[in-house]
Amino acid sequence: MEVPILKQGSYLIGSVQSALTDADLRQLRDVLVAKVGRFRSLGVIVDVTAMDVMDSFAARTLSDIAQMVRLRGAQMVIVGIQPEVAFSMVQLGLTLEGVATALDLEEGLSLLDMTTKNRGRNDLARLR
């Protein structure tokens, strides 16, 4: 299932609705990396609340996306990892090194607000 991507001010929000196949993940990666440039976004949030498993491919793709998005000039936050998922991930060694995480969408937004607030464009983008 394709992941819907919403634009919210200067942020993009990818909201995962169900378990993702490898193809879905690749598609999410391509779309996000493209849209960050098109919308001149400062931040990207991927909400994985609905995922009840996270395999190594998913974890690697997510951290790849984070690196790519950063190279395109935006911050990425992964939000909504479930407690059980989090623990099985670290047991498999999938610690999403270098990727920001937050409890849920709200937290993720406030984290992005904090990390991007010195970048001026943010407030203007919000007004628009």
Partner 1 sequence: MQKVQDRDPVVLTTKETSAELLRELVAHLRQNRAQLREEWARLITEAKLLTVMTREEIFAEATSVYDNYVEALETGTLEALQAYSRNLSERIIPRGVQTDEVLGIVLLLRDVLARSLFARSRTDFDKLNRILDAYEPAANRIATTVAVGFVQERERTIREQQEAIRELSTPVLQVRERLLILPIIGVIDPQRARQLTEQLLRGIRTNRARVVVIDITGVAAMDSNVANHLVLTVEASRLLGATVIVTGLSPEIAQTLVNIGVDLTKMNTVGDLQGGIEEAERLLGYKVVPVEKAES
Least distance from partner 1 to the Cβ atom of residue 38, Å: 28
| Consecutive H or E run containing 26 | helix 22-38
Kind of pairing between the strands at 75-79 and 11-15: unpaired
Least distance from partner 1 to the Cβ atom of residue 108, Å: 8
Q: Which C-beta is closer to partner 1: that of 38 or that of 83?
A: 83
Q: Which C-beta is closer to partner 1: that of 41 or that of 63?
A: 63
* Other beta carbons within 10 Å of 77: 23
Q: How many helices (H) and strands (E) does the chain have?
A: 5, 5
**Binding residues for partner 1, per CB under 8 A?**
78-79, 81, 83-87, 89-91, 95-96, 101-104, 107-108, 111
Least distance from partner 1 to the Cβ atom of residue 56, Å: 15
